[in-house]
């Protein structure tokens, strides 16, 4: 039993295993491999962004000895209607984290720590799922993090082998809320999707953004690929009518460079992501 406990705590949790602990109903799921982005110097761009110099964040770093720039390796998060649920893999000073919670009038019991966030309905809870894995939740529910202590019986999900990916449920596509300007037409073309996955693949000159849309039938996939290509062409025409050209450093360059086709019941798409666009998005330029 002792050997089994040591093995459980020391084994590596894969993204697929972590996903099975998240409440994913109607949730956008985001995965980030910080260790890979760190190797490609992408995280250095974030250092000039607001979060790195925020006094509250700097105070948290000083009191807990935790800084995502150095200590976080991977993160997977579910943004659900009931709250935000995250599994974070990295290096944690659990004693310092507990002391920080207590200093903020929070409490820790049986390894589960709880505290009130920036608003009364933002209750933060977390616990060590493993020595190097934190289960963290921000929700109106006081002990929401404990929902990640159990493993779901959902079938395995095919996940991209990429440092950054996102899955979007049909409910979010149909609502179309909180979408970046210029993307609404594309999302409208995918309203009949059964599931959408986006991921980024590192390349010599920046990244390539990929899309996979699961459709109910082959006919739906053919129709969706056609609509996405038409929307891309229409966006290029609208920009040309304004006597402008797509800019690789903003979304106009990204969205007008997309290509789409179907493979059976799936629609696959690709957009080139330039280094200039990364600089603007991550560096806040």
Which residues in 193-206 are b (16+ Cβ under 10 Å) and which e?
bebbbbbbbbeeeb
pLDDT one-digit tens code per residue, 181-203: 556 777 888 888 998 999 988 77
9 within a domain of the structure (yes/no): no
Tell me the pLDDT band of 159, cut-offs 50, 70 and 90.
confident
CA dist 22 and 24 (Å) reads: 6
Residues 236 and 185 in one domain: yes
- The fraction of the chain above a pLDDT of 70, given in percent, is 83
The arithmetic mean of pLDDT across residues 136-163, rounded, is 89
Residues 122 and 77 in one domain: yes
Total domains in the fold of the chain? 2
Residues 57 and 132 in one domain: yes
pLDDT one-digit tens code per residue, 259-279: 999 999 999 999 988 777 776
Checking if the pLDDT of 110 tops 90, the result is: no
CA dist 238 and 182 (Å) reads: 11
Which residues in 78-95 are b (16+ Cβ under 10 Å) and which e?
bbbebbbbbbbbbebebe
| pLDDT score at 170 | 87
| pLDDT score at 283 | 52
Cα 91–chain centre separation: 20
Tell me the pLDDT band of 7, cut-offs 50, 70 and 90.
very low
Residues 143 and 174 in one domain: no
197 within a domain of the structure (yes/no): yes
49 within a domain of the structure (yes/no): yes
| pLDDT score at 260 | 95
Range of the domain at 135: 25-149
259 within a domain of the structure (yes/no): yes
Strand pairing class (195-203; 206-214) = antiparallel
pLDDT one-digit tens code per residue, 214-231: 999 999 999 999 999 999
Residue that wins the pLDDT comparison between 206 and 86: 86
Strand-pairing partners, residue 267, are: 213, 262
Checking if the pLDDT of 178 tops 60, the result is: no
First to last CA, the chain: 54
Residues 170 and 126 in one domain: no
Residues 42 and 124 in one domain: yes
CA dist 86 and 76 (Å) reads: 6
Residues 43 and 108 in one domain: yes
CA dist 281 and 260 (Å) reads: 24
């Amino acid at each position: 039993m002792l050997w089994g406990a040591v093995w459980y705590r020391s084994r590596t949790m894969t993204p697929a295993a972590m996903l099975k602990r998240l409440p994913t109903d109607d949730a956008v799921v985001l995965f980030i491999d910080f260790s890979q982005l760190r190797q490609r110097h992408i995280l250095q761009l974030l250092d000039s962004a607001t979060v790195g110099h925020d006094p509250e964040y700097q105070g948290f770093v000083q009191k807990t000895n935790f800084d995502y720039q150095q200590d976080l390796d991977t993160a997977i998060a579910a943004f659900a209607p009931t709250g935000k649920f995250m599994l974070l893999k990295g290096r944690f000073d659990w004693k310092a984290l507990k002391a920080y919670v207590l200093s903020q009038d929070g409490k820790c019991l049986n390894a589960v720590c709880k505290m009130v966030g920036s608003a009364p309905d933002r209750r933060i809870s977390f616990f060590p799922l493993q020595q190097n894995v934190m289960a963290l939740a921000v929700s109106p529910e006081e002990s929401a993090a404990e929902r990640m202590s159990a493993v779901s019986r959902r079938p395995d999900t095919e996940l991209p082998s990429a440092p950054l990916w996102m899955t979007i449920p049909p409910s979010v596509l149909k609502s179309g809320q909180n979408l970046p300007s210029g993307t609404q037409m594309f999302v409208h073309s995918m309203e009949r999707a059964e599931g959408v996955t986006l991921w980024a693949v590192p390349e010599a000159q920046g990244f390539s953004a990929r899309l996979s849309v699961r459709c109910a039938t082959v006919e739906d996939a053919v129709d969706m690929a056609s609509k996405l290509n038409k929307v891309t062409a229409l966006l290029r025409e609208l920009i040309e009518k304004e006597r402008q050209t797509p800019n690789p450093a903003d979304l106009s360059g990204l969205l007008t460079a997309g290509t789409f086709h179907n493979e059976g019941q799936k629609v696959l798409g690709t957009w080139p992501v330039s280094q200039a666009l990364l600089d603007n998005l991550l560096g806040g330029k």
